[in-house]
């Protein structure tokens, strides 16, 4: 990690930069080509891209019932129990987010209300690769089910033998998801955005991925498909004081660094002794990690920064807007009142970010790359639409009608005014 002591505030923006994502225009052009091919040639193009990028030729893009039936036997009982417990915790937390339909009379005879309805068709994208993210399937599938979305389509890359990770299939069974597509990358997002012979088109796409997936999700919005958020590589920022345990902090930093070479971790502290101790502990723990090569690449773009005051740390963090924010502080809850930009916050010395990644109950699908300044993480609301309703009685029309007539005439929208006037006249008759 880069050690930086008391940087001048004018240099903070450079320290808050994420890892370079490469040539954006070239990336967008590649993704646009994939979209055009998949939208034009459907399953044929999807199979070709799956063969090219995943190294497997598929005759059937959908997971068959017999594949689902045998999945549970391949998942250890302890892991099954852990997944079931995480599922229960997520349900408890997300159930509390159910909106209550309330009606209000804004003036006598004018009644307004708002009703939440589920997004009808949702696509869940779950990355595969070296670490299939079955936990992300829980994070997306639980609120999708609680929202009662009628159609849920899962896309995930196949292994070289054409199979889907059995833990993914077991989790899908637990969630009641039966439409599972063996496709990953930008080509899967393209298929979800327009549909193919095997892949139903959806209204909204959820899930993380690499920069190609992120670019594809943003391109999907041009075709009228919504997305959860622009999500990129994972990141964590730890704010720690002299009471923090260096081993705990180092483990938290490495837990994000091992996600991928483009992940980023940042430590802020006012204690020089802690700064040194944590960086030494990071090196010690890194040597024992199975994914140490990946984590080491991420650490190249990561920073340990010594600042002068808690206020400086808070200001830096809110500017950076981290996906995950750990407050390894003695007075963590007091400090947290000043947090205005973060995806999810972890308070105190005994609350690792990994708890939120898996099983505390909060959602781990969160805004990255500074989008926490203006996006929330995934919640039950992400799978719902809010539709407003209103109803006027004769009394209500007489009360609000003149207001509408006056305002419409002032804007020169005479047909608007007439729509009210004719009704008022009918009441007079």
Binding-site residue set for NAD(+) = 125, 187, 210
Catalytic position from the list 258, 301, 323, 405: 323
Cβ neighbours of 381 (radius 10 Å): 16
Calpha distance 292→254 (Å, rounded): 9
Which entry of 94, 281, 301, 324 is annotated as an active-site residue? Answer: 324
d(CA 398, CA 112): 16
Q: How many CA atoms lie within 13 A of 283 on its CB side?
A: 8
Binding site: which residues? Answer: 125, 187, 210, 234, 256, 259, 324, 357, 411, 416
- Is 405 part of the annotated catalytic residue set? no
Query: What are the backbone angles phi and psi of residue 163, rounded to the nearest 5°?
Result: -90, 165
Backbone angles phi, psi at 17, to 5 degrees: -70, 135
Helix (H, G, I), strand (E, B) or coil at 373: helix
Rounded Cα–Cα distance for residues 350 and 329 (Å): 10
248-to-317, 325, 348, 349 alpha-carbon distances in Å: 20, 14, 11, 8
Evaluate whether 190 touches 34 at the Cβ level (below 8 Å). yes
324 is catalytic: yes
Crossing angle of helices 292-299 and 246-257, rounded to 10°:
100
CA distance 174 to 179: 13
* Torsion angles phi and psi, residue 137, rounded to 5: -60, -40
Asked whether the beta carbons of 377 and 368 are under 8 A apart, the reply is: no
Binding residues for Zn(2+): 256, 259, 357, 416
Tell me which residues are annotated as active site. Answer: 323-324
């Amino acid at each position: 990690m880069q050690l930086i002591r008391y940087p001048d505030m004018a240099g903070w923006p450079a320290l808050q930069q994420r890892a370079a994502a490469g040539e954006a225009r070239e990336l967008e052009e590649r993704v646009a080509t994939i979209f055009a091919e998949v939208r034009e040639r459907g399953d044929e193009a999807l199979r070709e891209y799956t063969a090219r990028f995943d190294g497997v030729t598929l005759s059937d893009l959908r997971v068959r019932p017999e594949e689902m039936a045998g999945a549970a036997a391949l998942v250890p009982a302890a892991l099954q129990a852990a997944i079931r417990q995480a599922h229960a915790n997520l349900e408890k937390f997300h159930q509390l987010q159910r909106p209550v339909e309330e009606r209000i009379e804004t003036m006598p005879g004018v009644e307004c209300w708002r009703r939440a309805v589920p997004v009808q068709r949702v696509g869940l994208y779950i990355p595969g690769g070296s670490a299939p993210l079955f936990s992300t399937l829980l994070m997306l599938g639980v609120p999708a089910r609680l929202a009662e979305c009628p159609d849920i389509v899962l896309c995930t890359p196949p292994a070289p033998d054409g199979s889907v990770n059995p833990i993914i299939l077991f989790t899908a069974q637990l969630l009641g998801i039966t439409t599972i597509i063996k496709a990953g990358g930008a080509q899967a997002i393209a298929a979800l955005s327009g549909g193919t012979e095997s892949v139903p088109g959806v209204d909204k796409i959820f899930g993380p991925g690499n920069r190609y997936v992120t670019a594809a999700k943003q391109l999907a919005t041009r075709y009228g498909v919504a997305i959860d958020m622009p999500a990129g590589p994972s990141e964590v920022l730890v704010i720690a004081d002299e009471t923090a345990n260096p081993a705990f902090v180092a483990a938290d930093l490495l837990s994000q660094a091992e996600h991928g070479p483009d992940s980023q971790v940042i430590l802020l502290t006012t204690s020089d002794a802690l700064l040194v101790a944590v960086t030494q502990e990071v090196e010690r723990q890194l040597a024992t990690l199975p994914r140490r090569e990946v984590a080491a690449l991420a650490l190249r773009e990561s920073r340990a920064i010594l600042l002068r005051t808690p206020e400086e740390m808070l200001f830096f963090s809110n500017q950076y807007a981290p996906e995950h924010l750990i407050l390894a502080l003695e007075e963590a809850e007091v400090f947290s009142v000043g947090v205005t930009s973060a995806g999810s916050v972890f308070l105190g010395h005994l609350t690792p970010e990994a708890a939120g990644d898996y099983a505390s109950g909060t959602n781990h699908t969160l805004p990255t790359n500074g989008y926490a300044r203006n996006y929330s993480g995934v919640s039950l609301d992400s799978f719902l639409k809010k539709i407003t309703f209103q109803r006027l009685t004769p009394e209500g029309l007489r009360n609000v009608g003149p207001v509408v007539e006056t305002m419409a005439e002032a804007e020169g929208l005479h047909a608007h005014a007439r729509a009210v006037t004719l009704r008022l006249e009918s009441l007079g008759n």
